[in-house]
Amino acid sequence: MKTPYIWKNGEFIAWDDALDHNITHSLHYGSWVFEWIRFYYSS
């Protein structure tokens, strides 16, 4: 079953209009690695 709406930027929009690149998720969580390195070596 496909969801008709999604919450994005403070509003509900149609699922078909919610166009983010598929790498967005990877970039968001991939940048965590650099934060961890900075934390690890500063302690």
pLDDT along the chain (43 residues), means of 10: 83 85 68 80 72
Please give the model's pTM, rounded to 2 decimal places: 0.40
Tokens 């078909």 — which residue?
Answer: 16
What was the pLDDT predicted at 22?
61
Cα distance between residue 16 and residue 43, in whole Å: 45
Cα distance between residue 19 and residue 17, in whole Å: 6
What was the pLDDT predicted at 20?
72
What was the pLDDT predicted at 12?
93
Task: Compute the chain's Rg from CA coordinates.
Answer: 16
CB atoms within 10 A of CB 24: 9
